């Protein structure tokens, strides 16, 4: 949380409260700290199984409202200033020190927690801190340095507290010896002004300043207010007077008592005094005092009039002549209202209702316009309640923009039923309130008689505090850390990382208990909650992690490619021959991994990834990057290491080009038995390996053994492979001559694209709403290319100017938009969303939303339903036409492309196929691995995947070797490379005898919690160039009318800005491109309103889609050849929607 790198990576650094800039706080970190780092998406039992509701559905751990609440906690973080004495890169900020808290940017409103309570519950109230606590035993002080800008109590040389802070140095015995932290070992006696001070925030001891650190405490958010006025010349300026919390030290003591004897101008000219009026001006008592309006207003001769029985209404001049004094224990001391009353009472005075004179020699309090003084005027506040019962303080305009949930005890006054004397204004019910205590609970009671618990806050809006803001952060971290999910969530993740992909419920439970108790198997480690030593001991020493005479077929995992490389180099005693540091090329695009280069915060693979051949409840995370290109890239790299005895670039090795091929850097020379032990954990390499080694030349036996062992299941997986026997021969399928050809391409905008800036309403009132809603991220008219459409509220829209090819295709009738679209189980209104309507699982989370957008079964977490593209392929292959269909992914393992029967072909975006450098030479070793079947599911999946990767890469490699494209195709960017390979594959359609192809390509980087304007410009420009080049090639091949491109994304984004970007939302706007479209238009109803709180707004500008993804996929599937009888199987949620939710094929396509 405090890491500046994490703050930048998950974009909460610089996030600020709504009061700061009228933008919502960034939600990125608040979401991921729960989903990825602590508690996960669903409530867990101790054994890792999901807690389910009455319908058997998993129960979410948090809602999007919780994310919004916690996002407000992570406001105010920023880099520490640069300093000396650390390594730095010129031009960079301080990324060494933990982030600092800028308290004025931190949100100060109440934060509901995950249990229906509030952050801050259980902490003591700050108002209960005893006066003089700064002198008590264990009082803590932290050294601030030798300068301080602010109020401070200067300790006398005779002070016992000064001696304690000065390291025991007493008066006159020398300079202080300061410590960074001082905790009083016992109570010390007060001295001088210390005795009247309450609890000063800062004290000065000698030349140093210390901050007094009281125990963490909270305030009640609602209070009965007291007016505080500026202490300087602006005392009487109404706009500067505030309704403040009287229980907190927010203002100084301004005291006065008695009555004045001020004369008017007439008396002044005659040199008459009030005291001599009975002689000089006797009619004053009969005609002026309390009778003449001007006298009543100005209260001339107030004391004399009262003493003569004709005083002004309400006067009590028993204190005699007027006196005033500002009271303090040290300069600019701020106290509570009760303390101010006590200070004044000690002087025989009261809190003054009028401005007192500036400080004099006797009262050097130093109050000015930067401080406040208490007045005796009380002030009342009201609470504003919305339709859902959320409340806002009505103290000012900023507070009205910050609603929060409260626990009402007896209903609430809503805008639709706003009882008198409450008032209905701006769709809110405004009610004055009083405070009361019921059964020990502090309650707020509205004048309508409704009650809710008064929520705590750590920091006051009127007194921002760095320490209070950080206390709130710590309270949230503790709240999450103590959650019931943490132990099983962490247990499951760590067990997976230590080599067991599918631990049993008992294994997870035992590790979770070790985490909770700090004990395992009778041994106490730290013995505390969260003890990682006990946790790791339980993981490693558990019976399930130990070797067994009867190993389970599901115990184990596939090893990560980078781990295998490092294992091999270490086992072979690798040492660079030139004694340089070990360096390798960036292997992200070669093996799917590179140190410190995880493509997203979600790691290189998902913990719940499920290979297509696995059972429904089994996962194998590492297989997500076990693709043909990545695995064959790994094999080529291994063979290069073995052949050249080190890291070199030769033959697709992992080294750099400047390194010599002949490395001679592997120092190990040993027997086959020891080599096998080092690489597989067993001395017996197996008969198949021994046979290969025996058949090799004497000079190549050791390398032959290395090659065979690194390809063996025993090296590739954790666990016992469990050899089953010979693998049955694979049947050969003969393809018939193709009858027709069509291709569909899903261009996935990964990260959640802000597509309300892709197509924008123009020249109508909806554009005004768009600008109002989007504020700093709104596009101006010069930033779009205008188009026209029919059937929408606006007939003119604008396409983002960085997407010129889309504008050209639209003008040519070859592009259309689908608006207001996203993942839905069934049609959903805002009321249903807030109630019992069926929703997507893990709504607004990347992993679940990405899966939902690709499976079109968003109610079911994970990839179990298989992808929509894969199901379309299954239907095309199994229908009456028995189409010859292939499903490709150019973006690694894709949920969209995988069917139940159809296996996706994963191609490399740079090369198309990655082929073995020495295929012929490796055939014996490959056959050695793939000829056998295995009982262990990871070994079996590895072997089958190995065989398929080699077979398909050789087959498709041969096709692609013969391709010559029709255009001068440019492929500089990642997306251009993917479309380039799609164009090459389509060019092989005749040779492959293909009839239907389904492609998945991906453009990442759309998770714009920050830099959304610049980010969209770059990404839309990249997409525009890629589509332009691809369309030109399709037209040159004469096939564009048989090709359709459609876009999709995880989700849309909030209409409202967080000040830097936009956050996760729901509905979006997407497009299709193809040569066979009927017309260019915007399909589906564009939202009728974009104002906050509109009929589709689920909160903060998160629009609920009116139309499902099926609206776009349904006509495309029919155009591809899916039959009507198959539609319900291809689109399982189709029956939940009617024809108005779907675009028909005849409306979208010419034929």
DSSP secondary structure of 640-666: HHHHHTS--STTT-SS-TTS-S----B
Q: Could you check whether the bond before residue 421 is cis, i.e. omega within 30 degrees of 0?
A: yes
pLDDT at site 777: 96
Residues 6 or more apart from 341 whose CB is under 8 A from it? 350, 351
Pairing of strands 519-520, 523-524: antiparallel
pLDDT single digits (tens) 640-654: 999 999 999 999 999
pLDDT of 358 above 90: no
Give the whole-number percent of the chain exceeding pLDDT 90: 87
Q: What is the average pLDDT across 893-915?
A: 94
Look at residues 774, 718, 777, 805 and name the one whose alpha carbon lies nearest to residue 1027.
805
Contact 937, 554 (CB under 8 A): yes
In angstroms, the CA 921 to CA 99 distance is: 56
Structure tokens at 156: 């006398």
Can you count the helices (H) and strands (E) in the chain?
A: 34, 39
pLDDT single digits (tens) 1107-1136: 999 999 999 999 999 999 999 999 999 999
pLDDT at site 274: 95
Q: What is the average pLDDT across 604-628?
A: 93
Residues 6 or more apart from 982 whose CB is under 8 A from it? 743, 745, 888, 890, 999, 1001, 1030
SS3 59: coil
SS3 996: strand
Q: What is the DSSP letter of 543?
A: G
Look at residues 648, 1069, 646 and name the one whose alpha carbon lies nearest to residue 822.
1069
Q: What is the average pLDDT across 325-342?
A: 94
In angstroms, the CA 866 to CA 854 distance is: 8
pLDDT at site 167: 86
Contact 11, 26 (CB under 8 A): yes
In angstroms, the CA 954 to CA 919 distance is: 9
∠313-314-316 over CA atoms, to 5°? Answer: 115
SS3 908: strand
Question: Would you place residue 667 in the very low, low, confident or very high pLDDT band (cuts 50, 70, 90)?
Answer: confident
Mean pLDDT lowest among 55-59, 123-127, 703-707, 978-982: 55-59
Residues 6 or more apart from 540 whose CB is under 8 A from it? 498
CA distances 649 to 644, 656, 804, Å, are 10, 5, 40
Contact 160, 189 (CB under 8 A): yes
In angstroms, the CA 1046 to CA 1067 distance is: 16
pLDDT of 694 above 70: yes
Q: Is the dihedral of CA 860, 863, 865, 870 positive or negative?
A: positive
Q: What is the DSSP letter of 1084?
A: S
pLDDT of 863 above 80: no
pLDDT single digits (tens) 776-830: 999 999 999 999 999 999 999 999 999 999 999 999 999 999 999 999 999 999 9
SS3 484: coil
Structure tokens at 160: 């016992």
Look at residues 508, 476, 477 and name the one whose alpha carbon lies nearest to residue 44.
508
Helical segments of 45-102, H only: 64-71
Q: What is the average pLDDT across 252-272?
A: 94
Q: Is the dihedral of CA 775, 776, 778, 784 positive or negative?
A: positive
SS3 1094: coil
pLDDT of 132 above 90: yes
Strands annotated E in 270-371: 323-327, 350-351
Helical segments of 969-1086, H only: 974-987, 989-992, 1012-1037
Count Cβ atoms below 10 Å from residue 178 Cβ, excluding itself.
Answer: 19
Residues 6 or more apart from 372 whose CB is under 8 A from it? 228, 229, 230, 231, 242, 244, 250, 251, 252, 334
Mean pLDDT lowest among 85-94, 309-318, 663-672: 85-94
In angstroms, the CA 348 to CA 256 distance is: 9
Mean pLDDT lowest among 16-30, 730-744, 955-969: 730-744
pLDDT at site 816: 98
In angstroms, the CA 984 to CA 976 distance is: 12
Q: What is the average pLDDT across 1132-1151?
A: 95
Contact 982, 1030 (CB under 8 A): yes
∠535-539-543 over CA atoms, to 5°? Answer: 135
pLDDT at site 1120: 98
Q: What is the average pLDDT across 351-374?
A: 83
In angstroms, the CA 610 to CA 851 distance is: 12
Average pLDDT, the chain: 94
In angstroms, the CA 632 to CA 1038 distance is: 34
Contact 1074, 1040 (CB under 8 A): yes
pLDDT at site 180: 96
pLDDT at site 635: 97
pLDDT of 336 above 60: yes
Structure tokens at 220: 């009640």
pLDDT of 688 above 80: yes
Which helix H or strand E contains 20, and what residues bound it? helix 18-21
Q: What is the average pLDDT across 351-361?
A: 79
Contact 809, 1073 (CB under 8 A): yes
Residues 6 or more apart from 517 whose CB is under 8 A from it? 527, 529, 531, 534
Q: What is the DSSP letter of 231?
A: S
Is pLDDT larger for residue 361 or for residue 774?
Answer: 774
Strands annotated E in 59-99: 77-78
Structure tokens at 540: 């490693």
Torsion of CA 456, 459, 462, 466, to 10 degrees: 180
Torsion of CA 876, 880, 881, 882, to 10 degrees: 60
Say if residue 173 is exposed, middle or buried (CB neighbours under 10 Å; 0-12, 13-18, 19+): exposed
Give the whole-number percent of the chain exceeding pLDDT 70: 99
Residues in the chain: 1151
Helical segments of 723-843, H only: 765-774, 804-811, 830-834
Contact 429, 414 (CB under 8 A): yes
pLDDT at site 67: 97
Buried b (16+ CB within 10 A) or exposed e, 683-715: eebbebbeebbeebeeeeebbbbbbbbbbbbbb
Say if residue 906 is exposed, middle or buried (CB neighbours under 10 Å; 0-12, 13-18, 19+): buried
pLDDT of 323 above 70: yes
Structure tokens at 81: 């200033």
pLDDT of 611 above 70: yes
pLDDT of 1016 above 90: yes
In angstroms, the CA 803 to CA 1028 distance is: 10
pLDDT at site 173: 53
pLDDT single digits (tens) 137-185: 999 999 999 999 989 999 999 999 999 999 876 555 557 899 999 999 9
Q: Which residues pair with 760 in a beta bridge?
A: 798
Contact 100, 78 (CB under 8 A): yes
pLDDT of 1141 above 60: yes
pLDDT at site 174: 58
SS3 205: strand
Is pLDDT larger for residue 375 or for residue 578?
Answer: 375
pLDDT of 454 above 60: yes
pLDDT at site 837: 85
pLDDT at site 554: 93
């Amino acid at each position: 949380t405090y890491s500046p790198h994490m703050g930048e990576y998950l974009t909460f650094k610089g996030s600020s409260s709504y009061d700061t800039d009228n933008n919502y706080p960034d939600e990125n970190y608040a979401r991921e700290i729960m989903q990825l780092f602590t508690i996960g998406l669903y409530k867990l039992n101790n054994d890792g199984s999901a807690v389910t509701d009455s319908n058997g559905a998993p129960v979410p751990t948090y809602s999007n409202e919780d994310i919004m609440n916690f996002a407000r906690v992570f406001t105010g973080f920023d880099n520490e200033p640069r300093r000396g004495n650390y390594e730095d890169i010129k031009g960079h900020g301080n990324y060494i020190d933990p982030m600092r808290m800028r308290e004025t940017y931190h949100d100060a409103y109440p934060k509901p927690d995950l249990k229906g309570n509030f952050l801050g519950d259980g902490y003591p109230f700050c108002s209960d801190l005893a006066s003089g606590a700064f002198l008590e035993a264990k009082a803590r002080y932290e050294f601030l340095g030798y300068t301080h800008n602010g109020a401070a109590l200067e300790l006398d040389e005779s002070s016992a507290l000064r001696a304690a802070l000065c390291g025991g140095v007493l008066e006159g015995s020398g300079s202080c010896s300061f410590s960074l932290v001082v905790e009083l070992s016992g109570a010390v006696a007060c001295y001088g002004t210390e005795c009247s001070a309450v609890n000063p925030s800062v004290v000065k001891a000698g030349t140093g300043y210390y901050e007094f650190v009281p125990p963490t405490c909270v305030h009640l958010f609602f209070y009965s207010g007291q007016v505080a006025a500026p202490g300087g010349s602006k005392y009487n300026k109404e706009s500067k007077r505030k309704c403040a919390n009287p229980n907190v030290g927010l203002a100084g003591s301004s005291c006065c008592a008695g009555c004045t004897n001020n004369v008017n101008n007439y008396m002044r000219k005659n040199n008459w005094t009030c005291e001599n009026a009975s002689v000089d001006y006797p009619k004053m008592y009969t005609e002026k005092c309390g009778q003449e309006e001007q006298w009543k207003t100005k209260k001339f001769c107030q004391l004399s009039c009262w003493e003569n029985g004709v005083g002004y209404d309400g006067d009590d001049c028993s204190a005699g002549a007027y006196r005033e004094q500002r009271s303090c224990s040290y300069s600019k001391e701020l106290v509570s209202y009760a303390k101010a009353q006590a200070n004044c009472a000690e002087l025989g005075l009261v809190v003054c209702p009028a401005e007192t004179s500036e400080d004099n020699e006797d009262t050097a309090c130093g109050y000015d316009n930067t401080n406040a003084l208490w007045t005796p005027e009380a002030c009342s506040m009201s609470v504003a309640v919305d339709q859902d019962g959320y409340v806002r303080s009505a103290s000012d305009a900023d507070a009205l923009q910050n609603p929060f949930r409260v626990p009402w005890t007896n209903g609430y006054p809503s805008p639709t039923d706003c009882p008198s004397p409450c008032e209905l204004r701006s769709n809110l019910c405004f009610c004055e309130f009083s405070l009361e205590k019921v059964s020990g609970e502090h309650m707020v009671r509205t004048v309508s008689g409704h009650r809710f618990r008064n929520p705590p806050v750590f920091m006051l809006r009127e007194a921002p505090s760095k320490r209070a803001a950080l206390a709130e952060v710590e309270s949230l971290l503790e709240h999450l850390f103590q959650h019931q999910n943490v132990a099983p969530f962490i247990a499951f993740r760590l067990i997976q990382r230590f080599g067991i992909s599918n631990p049993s419920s008992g294994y997870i439970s035992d590790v979770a208990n070790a985490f909770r108790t700090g004990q395992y198997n009778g041994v106490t480690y730290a013995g505390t909650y969260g003890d990682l030593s006990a946790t790791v001991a339980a993981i490693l020493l558990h019976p399930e992690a130990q070797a067994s005479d009867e190993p389970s077929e599901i115990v184990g995992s596939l090893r990560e490619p980078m781990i295998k490389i490092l294992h091999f180099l270490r086992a072979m005693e690798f040492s660079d021959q030139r004694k340089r540091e070990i360096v390798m090329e960036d292997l992200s695009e070669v093996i799917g991994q590179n140190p410190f280069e995880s493509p997203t915060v979600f790691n290189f693979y998902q913990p719940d990834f499920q290979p297509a051949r696995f059972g429904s409840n089994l996962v194998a995370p590492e297989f997500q990057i076990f693709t043909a290109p990545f695995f064959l890239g790994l094999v080529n790299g291994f063979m290069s290491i073995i052949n050249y005895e080190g890291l070199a670039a030769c033959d697709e090795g992992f080294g750099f080009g400047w390194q010599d091929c002949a490395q001679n850097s592997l120092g190990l020379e040993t027997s086959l038995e020891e080599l096998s032990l080092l690489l597989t954990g067993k001395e017996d390499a197996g008969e198949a390996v021994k046979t290969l080694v025996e058949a090799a030349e004497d000079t190549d036996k050791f390398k032959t053994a290395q090659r065979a062992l690194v390809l063996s299941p025993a090296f590739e997986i954790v666990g016992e492979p469990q050899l089953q026997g010979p693998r049955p021969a694979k049947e050969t399928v003969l393809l018939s001559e193709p009858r027709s050809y069509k291709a569909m391409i899903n261009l996935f905008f990964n990260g959640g694209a802000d597509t309300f800036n892709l197509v924008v309403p123009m020249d109508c009132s909806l554009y005004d709403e768009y600008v109002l809603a989007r504020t700093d991220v709104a596009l101006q008219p010069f930033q779009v290319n205008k188009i026209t459409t029919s059937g929408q509220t606006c007939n003119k829209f604008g396409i983002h100017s960085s997407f010129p090819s889309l504008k050209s295709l639209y003008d040519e009738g070859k592009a259309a938009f689908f608006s207001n679209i996203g993942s839905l189980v069934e049609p959903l209104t805002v009321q249903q969303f807030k109630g019992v309507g069926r929703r997507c699982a893990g709504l607004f989370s990347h992993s679940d939303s990405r899966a939902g957008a690709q499976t079109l079964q968003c109610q079911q977490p994970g990839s179990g339903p298989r992808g929509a593209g894969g199901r379309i392929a299954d239907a095309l292959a199994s229908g009456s036409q028995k189409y010859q269909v292939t499903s490709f992914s150019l973006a690694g393992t894709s949920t969209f492309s995988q069917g139940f029967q159809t296996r996706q072909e994963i191609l490399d975006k740079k090369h198309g196929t990655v082929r073995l450098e020495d295929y012929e030479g490796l055939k014996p070793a490959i056959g050695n691995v793939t000829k056998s079947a295995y009982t262990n599911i990871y070994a079996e999946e590895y072997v089958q995947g190995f065989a398929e990767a080699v077979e398909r890469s050789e087959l498709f490699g041969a096709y692609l070797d013969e391709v010559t494209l029709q255009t001068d195709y440019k492929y500089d960017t990642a997306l251009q490379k993917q479309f380039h390979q799609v164009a090459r594959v389509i060019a092989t359609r005749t040779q492959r005898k293909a009839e239907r192809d389904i492609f998945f390509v991906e453009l990442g980087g759309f998770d714009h919690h920050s830099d959304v304007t610049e980010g969209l410009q770059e990404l839309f420009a990249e997409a525009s160039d890629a589509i332009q080049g691809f369309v030109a090639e399709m037209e040159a091949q004469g096939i564009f009318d048989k090709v359709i491109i459609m876009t999709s994304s995880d989700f849309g984004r909030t209409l409202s800005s967080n000040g830097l970007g936009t956050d996760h939302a729901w509905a979006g706007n997407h497009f299709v491109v193809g040569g066979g479209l009927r017309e260019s238009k915007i399909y589906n109803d564009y939202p009728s309103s974009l104002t906050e709180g509109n009929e589709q707004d689920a909160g903060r500008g998160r629009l609920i889609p009116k139309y499902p993804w099926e609206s776009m996929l349904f006509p495309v599937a029919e155009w591809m050849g899916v039959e009507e009888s198959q539609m319900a199987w291809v689109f399982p949620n189709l029956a939940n929607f009617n024809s108005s939710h779907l675009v028909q094929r005849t409306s979208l396509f010419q034929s």
